[in-house]
Amino acid sequence: MDKLKFLSQLSDGDEKILFSNIFDKIKKSAYSSYPLFTSFLTPSEQKRLDERKRIAEKVNFISFGGYKNAERKMYAFSTDENIDFNVFPVDKIKISTKDKKVFDHRAYLGSVLSLGIKREKIGDIVIMDEFAIIFCVNDITEFLLYNLNKISNSFVDCEIYYEEVEIDDEKRFKEVFKTVSSLRLDCVVSAFCDKSRSVSDSFINEGLVSLNYEVTKNNSLKISNGDILSVRGFGKAQIQTDFPLSKKGKNRILIKYYI
């Protein structure tokens, strides 16, 4: 395996450090009798890793995020093709209040990170009707159980959740139709945030906007059906563009905000 080739075309120092560590695990797993695991990877990191599978011919790549269609996933590297998902070091923590109140994704994540937990230790956060579930690497489970006591100034109870997690689109998204003059990134960001074009331009220029998990400063990029748009401080959504034009010739889009 060629490490320089594996690390080629990576953008910055942090990403190269991450993939350098991943390379070392892949190489070690080829001579190991047990699988080795990454922390949780973002979709863009998963894409880059999948593009490098061919470099590791003897090692199998298996990904799992704790439930079907998880966004953030861990990877296992092994010479065994039949790894059971149960061997992944992933735990599910149920977070609830006495009055069954739930909060938004940002509130849960912010409270966890305020404890000094690194983002890569946390997978998806799934918000149910009466509680939330956080997926985490199991080496921080005990710490979270004892130290995660509040979300948005409300006291919470934490416990390991043993049931399977299944979510449908109605629980995962809040859908809002908007009309935009163009499918350019700046126009869609304006609709996404309910802000003026000048404000959306500033968000893009400041690097606050990601398209398909990649930060972009190109205001004129065209949004395609199914693209994932994120704006720091405003959340994330899937953008649906496959609709007829309005009577005034404008584009109708469906913004499926992640809950």
pLDDT tens across 177-223, in order? 999 999 999 999 999 999 999 999 999 999 999 998 888 999 999 99
Dump strand ranges (E) for the chain.
36-37, 60-64, 74-78, 90-96, 122-127, 132-137, 150-151, 154-155, 157-160, 173-180, 209-211, 214-215, 227-231, 235-240, 251-258
pLDDT for 83:
80
pLDDT for 170:
58
Return the SS3 of 10.
coil
Classify residue 242 by its DSSP letter: -
pLDDT for 39:
96
pLDDT for 171:
57
In this predicted model, what pLDDT tens digit does every residue of 94-116 receive, in sequence order?
999 999 999 988 899 999 999 99
Low-confidence ranges of the chain (pLDDT < 70): 1, 168-171
Number of H helices, E strands in the chain: 8, 15
pLDDT for 33:
83
Q: Which own/partner pairs from 104-108 qualify as long-range (CB within 8 Å, at least 24 positions apart)?
A: 104/259, 105/235, 105/258, 105/259, 106/235, 107/151, 107/152, 108/132, 108/134, 108/151
**What is the pTM for the complete model shown?**
0.79
